[in-house]
Structure formats: structure tokens, C-alpha cells
Homo-oligomer: A and B are copies of this chain.
Amino acid sequence: MNGPSLATGQRSLGDPSITYPLWPPLTRGCPKTSTASLAYPVEVDYDYARVSASLFEQEPGPDLARWSPLLPPLHAPTLGEGGTPLIPLEGVYVKDESRNPTWSHKDRLNRITVSAALGAGAPGVVVASSGNHGASAAAYAARAGLPAIVLASADAPPAVHSFVRAYGAKVLAVPVEARWPLMREIVDRLGYHPVSNLTVTHTGHPFGPEGYKTIAYELFLQLGGVPAAVFAPTGYAELLYGVWKGFTELRRLGLAGTTPRMFSCEAIAGGPIARAVDTGAPAAIVPLQHTEAYSIGCSVGGHRGVRAVRDSGGEALLVTDDEMRAAQRTLAAQGLWQEVSGAAGLAAYRKLGRDFDGPVVCIATSSGFKGMGVGMESVEVLTNPTVDDVL
């Protein structure tokens, strides 16, 4: 710990003049600006004047507690999240988030959201998730001694089913349309703290993106400055928004003179952020087709991603499964095995084909073990192999 949290309250993304106390976390978004068809998230405010510049003189290692002044209170113990390596590769830098405790970026968020559940005095946490988010929430809840309920996607890959169940949570595989009604009921009747979304357009947990801010802090130290552009695999865009917020804080603190352009990298099978950016809407809901990038395939979008793209001068990009698989192969051929969605950042950067005046970061979110086809290949055993089989 580098000092207590300097969080002061919550602020509406619908109207920044509207503020709320820090507790309880507004897990249903901003009540004053949200409507029946559009929900606005809130974000966390800090007393930035009291942040010591020496906070950014440390190493970008594991355990988010090293950034404690710029995070909500960390009641949940660490699993050593964060501090992931930055690998130069094909002219870009790959931030390998598969190196977190449950092998995806979600661990940064769940250290924060499970801390919020403890701070709120909840008897447990509940999460609706297709895989990574649910397993990560289960791991952090287990570590903190809190019960967890995971409403899992019925069609997750077999290895991911094992993953989500590994941490002792109560896991229910339910149809996707049943997930959110059941989640709301668990929140209302059992008092469990929701660590995934509850609202009509996505607002998510108000504290969650604060965990992702730490990627910006690490990149700033790892690069010795601010990148020109960041490409992030994008589902609900909590990652994109969090990284963007971290860079705006570095500028606000006078440590950085610029901020990067932020590129949302969605599966073309859905793409609610791109729709909202294209139409000028605060958020959008779109039909969702099948995609192998199930970890980022979203129908419901939110305002956070729109804000990150617009405010940073970025763009909302869409990539096909084929483009993501090609980027996945490129990464694997350099020693980094990502699930298909984890390669969306590199895929979108390549598709855009633009030169930037400075370093480009592609976030790679998650281990290849979470992929759709994993464990389904047939294996032929050679009974009398010779060196000729090799040639």
C-alpha cells in the first residue's frame, strides 16, 4: 500500500455536475440521468491535489495496492494482479494480460469490485459471465472469503466450464436471456453485490474500470511516456474506458503532456460501440451474430466506450473472426497464445493500416486456453515413428 484511497465520491457520466457519495457503489448507474431505454454510468472521483508524484516513481509490478491512492479502497486481498509484461512485436507493443492470476485482464477489475462488495458489507457477489469475468470474480471472492454465484454461459467452451467451476463458486449454466433477470433477483432478494451489469444499456460496476486504469500507469512507466495509440479488444468497453481514464489522470497530474488515441476493437458480429459512435448516440444496442470471439461478442453497449473513443480522438473499429484468427496466429507464431478475442486489438490495428507518430500498444487480453476449439482437435498417434515423419 502506498497510502489510503483518495477517492471522494461518484460522478455521473450523464451530467458531470451530478455527484454522489462514494458509498454505496451505484451498480445501476446514475439514477438522475438514466432513462428506461438508456443508462448512464457513474465514475469515481479523487482528490487529485493530494496525489504524490512519487507514486509514479515505482516499478510497474504486480498487486494493484501499489496504486492505492488512485483506487477505491482495497478491502479484498491481492492475487498478484497486474504488472504484466509489454512485448515488442511486429512494430507494436503487446501488453500481455494473459499473465494475470486467472489469465485475463479481468483480474484487475475484480480486485476492485470484490473490494467494493466487502466495503458495502454484501453477503456475497454475483456475476453473469461467459467465462473470464465469472472465473476471475469467483477467484477474488474465494480469496476474500465471500460466497460467489456465477451465471455462466451455457455454450462456453468445455475447458472454460472447468475454469469457472474451479474456484468453488456456485455456478449455474443458464440461457443468455435468463441471466440478467435472475441476476437482478439475486441482488434484490439475497443482497448479493453485482460485479457485472444490471442496466438496460451497459453501466457495469462503477468502480470496475478503476482497476483497468493501472494498465495506463504501467504503460507510462514501461514506455517511459505515453503511447500514440491504444487498441483494446472491446466488449462492454470497461477496459477501453479504464485505460483512457488512467491516461487522462496522468495528464491531469502534470506527469504526461499528451494522451493516446483510443481504438475500440469489437467483433463485427455485434459492435454496439461502433454503432453508437457512428450514429452519435450515447450508447446503442445491436443484434449479435455468432462469433468465435465470444468474450467480446456484445449486443448491449454502454456510454463508457463511446466516451473513450470520442474524447481521445480515436475510432470505433470492427473486425471479423477471420481477421482475429489471423492476428491470433501472428501472436502465437511469436510465442503468445491468445484466445481469438484477445487478438482483436492487433487485428484492428492491422486492418486500420495507419502510421502513428509514436508507440502503438495492442492489449492482448486472455490466454489461448479459453478458446472455442480448445481440446477438440483429433490427435493421431504414430505407433512406429521415424525421423521421416518429421521431415
Contact = CB atoms under 8 A, between A and B. Distances in A.
Contacts of A374: 158-159, 162-163, 375
A103 B367 contact: yes
Contacts of A186: 387, 390
Nearest to A187: B387
A32 to B, nearest CB: 29
A386 interface: yes
A332 interface: yes
B190 A387 contact: yes
A247 interface: no
Interface stretch (A59-67, A232-240, A311-319): A59-67
Interface in A92-109: 96, 98-103
Nearest to A164: B379
Interface in A175-224: 175, 178, 182, 185-186, 189-190
Given A337-B139, A367-B103, A332 B166 contact: yes
30 contacts: A59-B59, A59-B61, A60-B61, A61-B61, A62-B83, A78-B85, A78-B87, A79-B85, A79-B87, A80-B85, A80-B99, A83-B83, A139-B337, A142-B333, A142-B334, A143-B335, A158-B374, A158-B375, A158-B376, A158-B377, A159-B159, A159-B375, A162-B376, A166-B368, A167-B337, A168-B329, A178-B385, A182-B386, A189-B387, A190-B387
A149 interface: yes
A149 to B, nearest CB: 6
The residue among A139, A332, A371, A379 with the most chain B CB atoms within 10 A of its own CB is A379
Interface in A74-123: 78-80, 83-87, 96, 98-103
A381 interface: yes
A172 interface: yes
A215 B85 CA distance: 17
A99 B96 contact: no
A390 B191 CA distance: 13
Counting from the closest, the 7 A-B pairs by CB-CB distance are A80-B85, A158-B375, A143-B335, A139-B335, A369-B369, A159-B375, A59-B59
A57 interface: no
Contacts of A332: 142, 166-168
A224 to B, nearest CB: 15
Nearest to A94: B80
A142 B336 CA distance: 9
A140 interface: yes
Interface in A115-138: none
Contacts of A62: 83, 85
Contacts of A161: 375, 377, 379
A326 interface: no
A159 to B, nearest CB: 4
Contacts of A173: 379-382
Given A142-B333, A143-B335, A379-B161, A390 B101 contact: no
